[in-house]
A and B are shown apart, each in its own frame.
Chain A
Amino acid sequence: MGYVAVKGGTIAIEESIKRLTYERLKQGKVIDVDRIEAGMRCLIDQVMSESSLYSESLAATAIKQAEGNPEEAVFLMRAYRSTLPRKHYSRIVRSEDMVVERRISACFKDIPGGQILGAAFDYTQRLLDFELNEETDEDAIIWLHEYALESGAENDHTVLDGLPKVLDYLREEGLLAACEDNDTEPDDVTKESIQFPTSRSQRLQILTRGQTGAVTSLGYAALRSYGALHPTVGELRIGNLPVYVDNPFTEENEDENAYYIGAIKVTEVESLFPVCKQMKHGEKEIEFGIGYGICYGQNETKAIAMSILDHCLETGNPEYPTHNEEFVLLHIDSVESTGFISHLKLPHYVTFQSELDSVRKSKKGGKSKERESVEEPRHEN
């Protein structure tokens, strides 16, 4: 099938873009980008995660330009990202170094360091708060002042930047197999297209940048009927991870010589799956498999769903699509899936003409055959 170049749409396209601007501005009001950054925390987190680019200010600009449409904002972020040089790779970031703001476990009531609820919608009543319609900047400042004056938990000596992991506790108990650091250099899906079977590093990179809704839906499918898994969240933690970069001009990469470049907020989840293992003499033993999820910002549902899909893809049960890496990994990327779906509305004039010709021919052929079949009995008579 060849392509045919056509013209004549330039003015219409220019006017269409004007209509888009009109839709954004028609009420005569604009949102400041810093207000988006201040008040749209969760949307910013989602956009940063799906675009695989950590920058609250860029995400806020993208959200403004996209009029709050996450898929368009992610597209803008990915496009902008492609214009920037990758200057550095970080030193290995360890979630054990997280300055925790929220940390819960569904496995144990009492965990070392305690269950820290932090900021979460989970404990709200989900009743629309109409008072927010009248909220002012002054109200915000008063609230912040009053909150700062409230006494904190001054006698609690918990250290937030070195909380022990629930998994480590299970490993110490012998309930999980001990695990050594594997320093194999990771693959990078932004540099090289994936081939199946994929490596673990490719799977995790694709899952963490997956579209929140797609990752959540497939994770849900794996729970509900395509694998009927029921994991328990061993630990969900949210907080800031410090990022360090080695000096690019020296060979010595000592820890104390590194540059601290700032911290990034992430959500991390470790889920536990009971797995039945067949032993030598026909005995069965139950042990735990671990699913891992992590994403930029606070996005708990995505991180939990990622941990489910990580476990599914590690298991690779051929009975279920949610365990099939091609099915999962090739369909969860926001730009790829929305881009492909969206291309259907672009001109397909030649393709459709060809289809139309085929339909006309088959209809014509069908009619004459129909006529023949109707006429045939007459001949017989």
Chain B
Amino acid sequence: MNRKMRTEILLKGSVELAAKLAGEIQAKYDIKIIAEPNLGLAMLKVRETAQRTLFYLGEVLITECKVLINGHLGIGMIKGDEQEFAYYLAIIDAAYNAELPETKVWTRIFRQEDAKIKKLDIDFKNKVIQTKVNFQTMDV
């Protein structure tokens, strides 16, 4: 599973999942913290749609953490002040970068979490779509 997909699932899913997966790795491997979870900013580069040029919309507060497992770096990045979450994300990222065997069985867990997220997305969509206007021409 590529990083884009797994970070989407981890961030949209519950923090408990990230804690559980990171816990598996913590129990078996030596984790060296390169950078404790710390706050910083990410500047947003946006494409406007009038002339399709690029500009900076503003910054987002992020928490970032870096760890090393078996000489492989892992980075955890998340919007907001989320110290623990960033640490779990960094461990999971390092586990994938180090190609640890545990990650092989995680694909199924990620798919299950993704299914839960998709169910919530559908519930959200159904509520929003309730506000869609159904225009009818009136007989005057």
| Chain A residues engaging chain B, CB cutoff 8 angstroms | 49, 52-58, 81, 84-96, 100-102, 109-110, 114-119, 147, 151-154, 156, 158, 160, 165, 167, 179-186, 188-190, 200-202, 204-205, 208-209, 242-245, 247-249, 255-264, 266, 268, 270, 290-292, 294, 296, 310
Contacts and interface: CB of A to CB of B under 8 A. Distances in A.
Contacts of B128: 100-101, 116, 118, 160
25 contacts: A49-B58, A52-B59, A53-B58, A84-B41, A88-B42, A88-B43, A88-B77, A93-B44, A115-B133, A116-B128, A117-B133, A152-B126, A158-B125, A160-B125, A160-B129, A181-B47, A185-B54, A186-B45, A201-B53, A248-B75, A249-B73, A259-B77, A261-B11, A262-B60, A294-B57
Contacts, number: 223
B60 A182 contact: no
Interface of B: 2-5, 7-8, 11, 39-62, 64, 73, 75, 77-81, 123, 125-133, 135
Contacts of B123: 152
B95 to A, nearest CB: 15
Contacts of A53: 41, 58-61
A153 B132 contact: yes
A92 B45 contact: yes
Nearest to B137: A109
Contact of B46 (A116, A119, A261, A294): A294
Contact of A260 (B11, B40, B51, B130): B11
A182 B54 contact: yes
Contacts of A263: 79
Given A93-B45, A184-B54, A257-B4, A54 B77 contact: no
Contact of A81 (B41, B127, B132): B41
Contact of B49 (A110, A184, A270): A270
A128 B15 CA distance: 40
Given A158-B129, A186-B54, A167 B48 contact: no
A93 B57 contact: yes
A90 B43 contact: yes
Given A292-B48, A292-B49, 10 more contacts: A92-B54, A116-B132, A117-B133, A188-B43, A201-B56, A243-B44, A244-B4, A249-B73, A262-B80, A296-B57
A181 B5 CA distance: 26
Contacts of B132: 114-117, 153, 156, 158
Contact of A261 (B54, B58, B62): B62
A90 B42 CA distance: 6
Contact of A245 (B49, B73, B77): B77
B113 to A, nearest CB: 14
Contacts of B129: 116, 152-153, 156, 158, 160
Given A158-B129, A245-B77, A87 B41 contact: yes
B49 A188 contact: no
Contact of A84 (B39, B45, B50): B39
A201 B54 contact: yes
B91 to A, nearest CB: 14
Nearest to B1: A256
A181 B3 contact: no
- Shortest beta-carbon contacts, A-B, top 8: A152-B126, A262-B79, A55-B61, A87-B40, A292-B50, A153-B129, A52-B58, A256-B2
A256 B48 contact: no
A56 B61 CA distance: 9
A208 B11 contact: no
Contacts of A310: 50
B43 to A, nearest CB: 5
A249 B42 CA distance: 16
Nearest to B57: A208
B75 A247 contact: yes
Contacts of B59: 52-54, 81, 86
A266 to B, nearest CB: 8
A270 B79 contact: no
B50 A262 contact: no
A249 B74 CA distance: 10
Contact of A200 (B46, B53, B61, B81): B53
